[in-house]
Amino acid sequence: MDESTLYELIHEAVSQALDARDGGDDVPLSRRMIGGRVLFEDDQGREAKAVPVEQLFKKITGIREKLRVLEQKVNNHDRLDATDKAELQGYITRCYGSLTTFNFLFAEEEDKFRGTGG
């Protein structure tokens, strides 16, 4: 392993550790959703589980951060050719598109998910 690769691995590990300690990047939740909860009901309309919105929001922003890391790894991978990178990037973009459902949770427009249309 060369010095550059070792540096990148160490840098990434330290960054991930700091992000985990700090709770990831500080993306604000929409004000109207603070203190809210997400209800899951069964087919009889009975509450199966209630999840605080803040908890769901943290998981969604965590997914976004992991997708960003994956995107960087794909784009910087030295053994993938351009066709493979484009195919994998397409899957990542579609994942972002699927997550646009949760854009109402974000306070800032620039923090929202964008798929192929954005």
Q: What is the pLDDT of residues 11-59, one digit of tens each?
A: 777 766 666 554 455 899 999 999 999 999 999 999 999 999 999 999 9
Distance (Å, whole) CA 8 – CA 3: 9
Residue 50: φ, ψ to 5°: -120, 130
How many independent structural domains does the chain possess? 1
pLDDT of 12:
77
Q: How far apart are CA 111 and CA 28, in angstroms?
A: 9
Residue 15: inside a domain, yes or no? no
Residue 56 structural domain: 27-111
Q: What is the pTM of this model?
A: 0.71
Of 5-14, 38-47, 75-84, the range with the lowest mean pLDDT is 5-14
Contact criterion met (CB below 8 Å) for 107 and 28: yes
In a domain, 33, yes or no: yes
- DSSP structure class, residue 108: S
Average pLDDT over residues 98-104: 95
pLDDT at 25: 59
Query: Domain for residue 65, yes or no?
Result: yes
